Every structure is written in C-alpha cells, then in structure tokens.
C-alpha cells in the first residue's frame, strides 16, 4: 500500500488524535464482557476468584476495578459507561451482561454461553456494529449448568445452540450501531428484529452509569445523573463527573425514566441494611419483580435507563435512537443529519478498509477479514489494577485476609495499570496476557500502528515490567513465564508501518529495544540456571503440551531442559540482533550490541544441538526431532519423546543478514567473519552462500539444512502434524502410539487429542495436545519464508509427504496459509469448518455470514474450540488474508 495516497477520513481522525487536535479514541468499546470472577475483584484468602464474585452476585454487587456490559462503550478511564439491558418477559433476571460457566462449572473450564457477534469497528471507533441474539423463551441458565456438570473431560462442551433455544426463530436480533459526529458526539441506534412469525414483547433499557469509584474511600466525589430537560419528543439526561466533566444523553420520550445507584445491595449480599434503598439491581427489581420502590422517584442517581416496552410484530424491526454528547443544546438531535452521519461513517469505514487492503478479494474473504478486524477492535478494554491497593484493601471496606499478602501477584506491588488494552477475549480472558498481546499487535499494526506501538510501550514501562526485568505473564499469575515474543512483535510493527505507511519510527524501536535488554537479561539470569545456554522457562504458554505440568515441581525431582524454551531465547537473540542492526544504521554504537547478540545466538545454537545439559543433546539423532530432556537427580538424562510443537519451535529461530547491511556496518561484519574463521565449532550453523564473495547474504538458523529437511518431513506429513487446517500442536502419530512416562507412583500419558482438553491442567480450558493454534502456525509460516529467502527455489520438499508434489519453502508457506484461511471459508458443501455440524451457522440466512474467531481449532476437522471470541491472536487471519491477496493481487 503506497503511503503517498490521500488520507481517508478515518486516517485523518487518527492523525488528529495522534496530534491531540481531537480525542477520537477517548470513547470506545472499552467495557469488559465479564468483570466478575476475575482476580482483580477477588478478595478471598485463598484466591478462589470464581467463587468469591459469581455471575449471580454481579447483578447486585458493585465492582471495584472495572465494569462490564453488553455491546457497551465508555470513556478511556471508564468513568461513564453505556450498554444495553433487556428482558424478554420470561427470564428470571434482566439481561445486563453475558452469561457463562465458571472454571468449575464447565467440563472444559470457563466458557461463555451466549451468541454475540462483533460485526464492524474502526480504529477511532467512529463506526461500530455489534449483534446479540436474545432468546424469546426463558434463557436456559440452569440447563447449561446442569448438562455441563454431568459431562466429563472426554466429552464435548454443551453449548447454547444444543439447547434448541433458537429453534423456529424464537429469538430477537438486537443490533447496536455507534457513529461519532465528533470526538465527543456519539450517535446510537438499536435495532430489534423479531425473527419469529408471532408478535413478541421486549423490554429495552439502554443504560448509562458511572463506574463506582466513591464507595472505597471518603475522598472521592460522587458523580450524578439527573434529568436536564424533558421535551415532548425526547429527554435529556445530564451526567456530571468531577474529572470527566458534563455529558448529556438524549433519548426518545418515555414515561419511565429510571434512576438508581451503582452501589452494592448489601441486604441481598449479606443481610446487612443498605444505606440507600436504591442499589445496583434496582432496574431488575423494578422490571422483573414489579417493585416500583426500587427506583428513585426523585429522578437522580448514578445509574440511569429509559425504559421502553416494545411490542414487535413477527419478522419486523423497531429502532431506538440515542445520542451521548458534550452539548445540551441540540435543537433536533434525531433529524435527517443523524441518519446522514451513520451513512457517512459506514461509508468511510468501507473506504478505510479498502485503503488498508486494496487488493482484489472475494466477498467471502473480505467479510472474514472485516469481521476479524472488528473483533480485534471490539476486544479493547479498560484495564485497571493497582496491586498495592488491592493487597492492602480500601478504607471503607473490610480489610483483606492477611494470607493474600503472600499469595498470587503479591511480589508485583509495583503494578499500576490503568490503560486501554487489547484483550485476548473480553469474556473468557478479560485481562492482558503478555504473549497473546504480541500477536494481537501484528494485524492491529496494519490498521493502527500508533495504537500497536503504544500497546508494546505499556508492557515495557516500569509500572508493568518487574524491576528485575520480567514481564507480567497474565492476571492469574504474573510470575508465569510466557514465550519472549515482544522483540519479534516490535520488529514486525516497525516493518509493517514502514511498508504500509512509509514511516520508519526508529525512536519507537530504540525505546522498546532498551527495555527489552532488561527482559533479555532476566531470561539469561533466571531461566538458564546452570549457565550452559539451555533454558527451562516452565509451561511457556503452551499449557498442557508437556507430559506433566512444566510450570510446577517435577514428579521425578530434577529439572526439565526445554527444547522450546531454548529455541524461544535463540529467536529472541535474532530479533534483538535484527533490531540492533537497524538502529546501527543511524548509530554505530548498536553495532557492538548486534555483535553481542550474534555471539550469544551461536552459543545457544551450539548448546541446543551439541552440548545440551551436562552432555545431553536436545536433538534426537535417531528420531530426527527435538525433545525436552528430563535431568534426573541421579544424573540420568531422559528424552521425553513427544512429537509436539516443542520440537518444531527450533524452526522459528531464523533470520538472514543482507550483504548490503554487512557493507554498511563494517565493525559488525568483521566480527561475523572473525567468528566464522576462528570459532568453526560455534559457526557451524552460520551458512554463507558459496561463490558470492565476502559480503554474501548470511543465514542464521537454529537448524542446519539436514535438520530442516528432517523436521519438515514430519511437519508436512498428514499422518503427523499437517492437517487440512494447519499444523497440529501434537502429532497424530500419538493417536495410535501414546507416549507414556512412568514414575514410582504414577503413569503419565500423552495421546493425540484433537479437540478439547482431556486433562484439567491449567484449568482445562486450553488444549495443546492436538488442535491447531494460530500463533505458532503464523510464526512457522514466517520462518519458512525466511528459509526460502536464503535457499531459494532450488530447495524443495515434498508437501504433503507422500504426495509426490515438490514445493519450495515459499510455496509450502502459501499452502499453510491457505489451510488456515480454509477454516473460515465455506467448503464444497457450503459449510464453514469452524462451524462443523452447526446447522444454524451453515444453513440459516440470519446466521451464515456471521463468524467466530475461536481460541484454537480441531486438529482433524477445523471446528472452532476454546474461547469463542478470541479474535486476539486468531485475528492474525486478517493479516494472512491481506498478505495472500497482496502476493498475487487477488485471492488464492
């Protein structure tokens, strides 16, 4: 994409926000989908977050650290919030937030049990669209709990579609659209479509409220919501906050303007008298229970909703419009201009995405890409967590148990986070996860590089990073160790912005590089315990991929030398080397840094392939594969012969150095040549093109040509790693040949599990023992392209193995891309593999264009599994579609 093209209106808005001419990002979809059951809201002594703050309690108990809602928005510090609430006249409670099972209730861990779709969004949130499918009959809360409770780990999850609640079109399609007239003028349209043939009633409450920041101490001023004006056709509600200032909500006239307080109902929670009769669940009591005293007749509070009782004829749509802005004097808030702004913003969104991806694509591919981008943007969330305050407790609240001071995250008291962050999934994972975050930023960089850069800056700042250099892993355990992919993300953000927008932001690269040095040092000092250049690291984000929990104490004692940990650090070295070489073009000081990482990489590769731990190599010559090695206390070394991604991750440690780079950086070039000549035992994995002179392109790789062929032979074998939908996390070989490891007390087994996890390890909600995962597949594709860049078209492998079809590594990378994209495309039967055996999605016109970007995918049939809205790293599909169409100018 040429950077010389005229800016679209969306890009102009982003430029205005960047230059602080207008604050287009101040308002966005920053509400969580689930605040209850999180570590932040947990004040128990034993860290039982799911039990301490339940879904049932979320209706009447005020949150401390954030808010949740359906299709909601807020300002960037979540002071004022807006979302949808409704009732079908059948449910036991008002629908104010999405329902799902806790980790204990689900047979495969926590699991949202709703049907909602993030259809469109722009980086400035100038236009947003969201669809929620609401059953007209009683929502099957208890059926979902009971059925999943009866199912075990070997059975699939029981989903809401399995209940039949949507049969015969007995549901409402509730679509909300937002369009910004200015950075402080947000137009809202709510469309309610009755999909059934019979007339149905829906109780709609568009809800505006303040996050409760006043109940925790006496120094915070309580904000207010009150009627500003009540005209014939519409009412104006004033929201007054001492920090945010005043905003006004325009809503169509109704006799029922409901006010209550966003405060805990202590009478309901603990049978303690409330200070006020107006509490958080006041609207529920008023609508569902018919308690007219539950809302404030004085029309003032901190939570407000206009109440519309709608009678909607069969197969018809009714629309409610609202407007939230900084102007109380609009004469005609819902005139023709209102509709014109919506049409204009939608058109501008189309123009923006056409600008981002101008290459010819089928309507199907464009729809997949657009919804993937929408999901990434809808998964932004305001994240607030101050651990020292969380541990100490608040002045106006009971003091937390002393045991908490020694519990999870207690040694991270420097954490002070109050940012809008890209989340993996705002219901199942409504908190940042360090390595997930890096993958989100790749597709985000294509549409909003400024946001992507700021996200990486957040993680490397002192109120995130530990003073010892460690990055916080994820909310449940900041001490967990994730793959160090942040340097890779920094380099990819830099190159994507350079290619797509013509901007080389070296200041960003240098600033991040300096902080990454601290983290790299932490890895070297903490995870290479014996100082021999092989690494441990623990579970490394791959949850249950190991024979036993790699993040805990080993049942045998001793230690685990990890093939993937060592490879991740080797990749880290190369990423840092690449960044240092780029910075050295402007500052020769970085040549020395590049030389250091070059040298460090060679030592790691040599240890990985030849020394290992105390003489044990991680490369198994007989099998032609890398394995973790168990070092027993008696000095014995055992290869844990599981064919998994652990053995393929060494492929990711690869880069090339151009001859032009070597010419421009003579000091670094001399250092490279010195190692080649004087440390042949270390430079054996440094390849140099023969006959190309002193400054030939160099290949730095963990694997040499022989190992590369052996690994690809297994990776491209459809009876092992290669599925129709990408590379499996564990080889299918283990379906018939499970790996067993016996101790004195127990036998540990790993088989091929292509679907949900059959172990409760790490909560049981993720499975790395067979399914296809996007992040590793994406990195493998990049690695293949780097190898091809060096070896060229003459290096060919059979793909798939046994087919007789010989491909270059570039062609293999395209084939893997195709298989990943095929997960979402209709097959020859018109069915999308992601929705395997889900009739509504495959055959119903009101469902078949809707998409879910799941956490991982069935290793044999491509069905979506795990978290259903993890557009975070599965959002990489948007980048794959972009680059595939760019390669050829049309889809492949």
- Do 198 and 314 touch, CB atoms closer than 8 A? yes
SS in 3 state form for 487-541?
A: HHHHHHHHHHHHHHHCCCCHHHHHHHHHHHHHHHHHHHHHCCCCCCCCCCCCCCC
Q: Is the dihedral of CA 273, 278, 279, 284 positive or negative?
A: positive
Minimal CA–CA distance to 500: which of 446, 424, 581?
Answer: 446
Measured between alpha carbons, how far is 572 from 336 in angstroms, rounded to an integer?
Answer: 56
Minimal CA–CA distance to 579: which of 597, 553, 555, 601?
Answer: 597
Q: Ramachandran region of residue 760, left (φ > 0), alpha (ψ -120 to 50) or beta? A: alpha
Q: Which residues contact 486 (CB under 8 A, 6 or more apart)?
A: 434, 438, 456, 459, 460, 471, 512, 516, 519
Instruction: Specify which residues 129 forms β-bridges with.
Output: 120, 177
Minimal CA–CA distance to 248: which of 183, 333, 323, 337?
Answer: 323
Q: What is the pLDDT of residues 618-641, one digit of tens each?
A: 999 999 999 999 989 988 889 999
Render 543-561 in DSSP notation, one character per residue.
Answer: GGGSSS-TTS--TTSSEEE
User: How confident is the model at residue 685, as a pLDDT?
Assistant: 56
User: How confident is the model at residue 889, as a pLDDT?
Assistant: 66
Measured between alpha carbons, how far is 295 from 709 in angstroms, rounded to an integer?
Answer: 71
Q: What is the pLDDT of residues 646-677, one digit of tens each?
A: 999 999 999 999 888 989 999 998 888 888 78
Q: What percentage of the chain reaches a pLDDT higher than 70?
A: 97
Exposure of 109 in the CB half-sphere (CA atoms within 13 A): 19
Instruction: Specify which residues 311 forms β-bridges with.
Output: 201
Integer Rg of the chain from CA: 28
Three-state DSSP class for residue 887: helix
Exposure of 670 in the CB half-sphere (CA atoms within 13 A): 5
Measured at the CA of 357, the angle between CA 353 and CA 359, to 5 degrees, comes to 135
Q: Which two tokens stand for residue 644?
A: 């998994």
Helix (H) or strand (E) run with residue 804 in it: none
CB 226: neighbour CB atoms within 10 A? 16
Measured between alpha carbons, how far is 55 from 34 in angstroms, rounded to an integer?
Answer: 9
- Do 734 and 722 touch, CB atoms closer than 8 A? no
* Residues of the chain falling short of pLDDT 70: 1-5, 528-529, 611-616, 683-695, 889-892
User: How confident is the model at residue 611, as a pLDDT?
Assistant: 55
User: How confident is the model at residue 537, as a pLDDT?
Assistant: 80
Place of tokens 């604050």: 23
Q: Between 506-526 and 563-584, two packed helices, what is the crossing angle to 10 degrees?
A: 150
- Do 303 and 82 touch, CB atoms closer than 8 A? no
411-430 residues labelled b (16+ CB within 10 A) or e (exposed): ebeebebebbbbbbbbbbbb
Minimal CA–CA distance to 70: which of 86, 91, 89?
Answer: 86
Measured between alpha carbons, how far is 453 from 423 in angstroms, rounded to an integer?
Answer: 15
CA 718 vs. chain centroid, Å, equals 29
- Do 237 and 257 touch, CB atoms closer than 8 A? yes
User: How confident is the model at residue 72, as a pLDDT?
Assistant: 98
């Amino acid at each position: 994409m040429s950077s010389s093209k005229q800016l679209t209106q969306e890009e102009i808005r982003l430029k205005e926000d960047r230059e602080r001419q207008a604050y287009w990002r101040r308002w966005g979809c920053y509400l969580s989908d689930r605040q209850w059951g999180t570590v932040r809201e947990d004040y128990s002594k034993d860290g039982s977050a799911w039990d301490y703050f339940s879904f049932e309690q979320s209706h009447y108990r005020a949150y401390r650290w954030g808010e949740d809602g359906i299709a909601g928005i807020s300002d960037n510090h979540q002071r004022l919030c807006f979302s949808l609430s409704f009732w079908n006249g059948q449910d036991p409670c008002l629908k104010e937030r999405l329902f799902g099972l806790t980790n204990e209730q689900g047979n495969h861990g926590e699991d949202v049990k709703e049907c909602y779709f993030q259809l469109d969004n722009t980086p400035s949130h100038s236009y947003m669209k969201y669809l929620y499918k609401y059953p007209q009959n009683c929502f099957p809360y208890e059926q979902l709990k009971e059925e999943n409770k009866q199912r075990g780990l070997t059975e699939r999850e029981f989903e809401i579609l399995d209940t039949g609640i949507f049969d015969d079109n007995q549901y409402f399609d509730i679509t909300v659209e937002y369009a910004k007239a200015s950075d402080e003028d947000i137009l809202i349209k709510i469309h309610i479509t009755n999909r059934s043939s019979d007339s149905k009633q829906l109780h709609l409450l568009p809800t505006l409220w303040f996050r409760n920041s006043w109940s925790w101490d006496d120094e915070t001023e309580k904000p207010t919501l009150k009627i500003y004006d009540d005209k014939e056709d519409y009412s104006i509600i004033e929201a007054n906050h001492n920090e945010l200032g005043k905003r006004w909500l325009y809503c169509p006239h109704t006799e029922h303007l409901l006010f209550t307080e966003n405060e805990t109902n202590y009478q309901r929670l603990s049978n303690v008298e409330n200070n006020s009769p107006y509490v958080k669940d006041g609207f529920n009591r008023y609508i569902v229970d018919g308690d007219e005293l539950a809302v404030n007749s004085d029309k003032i509070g901190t939570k407000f909703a206009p109440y519309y009782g709608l009678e909607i004829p069969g197969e018809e749509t009714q629309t409610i419009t609202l407007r939230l802005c900084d102007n109380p004097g609009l004469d005609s808030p819902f005139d023709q201009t209102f509709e014109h702004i919506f049409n204009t913003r939608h058109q501008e969104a189309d123009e923006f995405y056409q600008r981002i991806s101008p290459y010819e694509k089928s309507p199907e591919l464009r729809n997949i890409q657009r919804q993937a981008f929408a999901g990434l943007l809808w998964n932004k969330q305001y994240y607030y967590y101050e651990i020292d305050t969380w541990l100490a407790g608040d002045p106006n609240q009971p003091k937390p148990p002393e045991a908490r001071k020694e519990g999870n995250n207690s040694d991270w008291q420097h954490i002070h986070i109050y940012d809008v962050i890209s989340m993996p999934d705002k219901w199942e994972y409504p908190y940042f996860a360090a390595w997930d975050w890096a993958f989100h930023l790749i597709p985000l960089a294509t549409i909003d590089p400024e946001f992507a850069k700021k996200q990486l800056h957040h993680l490397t700042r002192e109120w995130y990073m530990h003073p010892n250099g460690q990055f916080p892993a994820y909310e449940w355990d900041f001490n967990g160790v994730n793959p160090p992919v942040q340097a890779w993300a920094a380099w990819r953000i830099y190159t994507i912005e350079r290619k797509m927008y013509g901007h080389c932001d070296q200041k960003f690269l240098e600033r991040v590089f300096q902080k990454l040095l601290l983290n790299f040092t932490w890895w070297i000092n903490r995870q290479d315990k014996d100082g021999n250049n092989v690494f441990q690291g623990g579970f490394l984000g791959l949850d249950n991929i190991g024979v036993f929990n790699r993040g805990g104490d080993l049942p045998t004692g001793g230690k685990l030398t990890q093939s993937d940990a060592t490879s991740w650090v080797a990749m880290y070295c190369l990423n840092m080397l690449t960044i240092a070489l780029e910075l050295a073009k402007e500052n020769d000081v970085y040549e020395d840094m590049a030389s250091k990482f070059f040298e460090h990489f060679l030592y790691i590769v040599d240890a990985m392939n030849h020394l290992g731990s105390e003489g044990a190599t991680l490369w198994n010559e007989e099998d032609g594969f890398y394995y973790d090695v168990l070092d027993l206390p008696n000095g014995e070394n055992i290869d844990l012969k599981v064919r998994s991604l652990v053995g393929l991750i060494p492929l990711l440690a690869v880069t090339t150095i151009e001859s032009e780079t070597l010419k421009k950086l003579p000091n670094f070039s001399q250092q490279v040549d010195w190692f080649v000549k004087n440390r042949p035992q270390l430079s054996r994995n440094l390849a140099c093109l023969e006959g190309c002179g002193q400054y030939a392109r160099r290949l730095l790789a963990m694997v040499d040509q022989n190992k590369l062929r052996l690994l690809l032979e297994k990776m491209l074998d459809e009876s092992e790693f290669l599925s129709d939908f990408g590379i499996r996390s564990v080889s299918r070989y283990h379906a018939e040949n499970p790996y067993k490891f016996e101790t004195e007390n127990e036998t540990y087994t790993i088989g091929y599990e292509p679907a949900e996890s059959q172990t409760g390890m790490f909560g049981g909600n993720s499975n790395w023992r067979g399914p296809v995962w996007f992040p590793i597949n994406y990195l493998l594709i990049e690695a293949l392209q780097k190898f091809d860049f060096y070896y060229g078209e003459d290096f060919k492998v059979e793909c798939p193995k046994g087919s007789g079809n010989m491909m270059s590594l570039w062609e293999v990378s395209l084939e893997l891309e195709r298989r990943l994209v095929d997960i979402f495309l209709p097959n020859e039967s018109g069915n999308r593999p992601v929705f395997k055996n889900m009739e509504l999605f495959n055959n119903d016109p009101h469902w078949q264009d809707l998409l879910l970007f799941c956490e991982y995918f069935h290793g044999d049939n491509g069905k979506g599994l795990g978290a259903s809205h993890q557009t975070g790293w599965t959002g990489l599909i948007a980048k794959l579609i972009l680059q595939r169409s760019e390669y050829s100018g049309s889809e492949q």
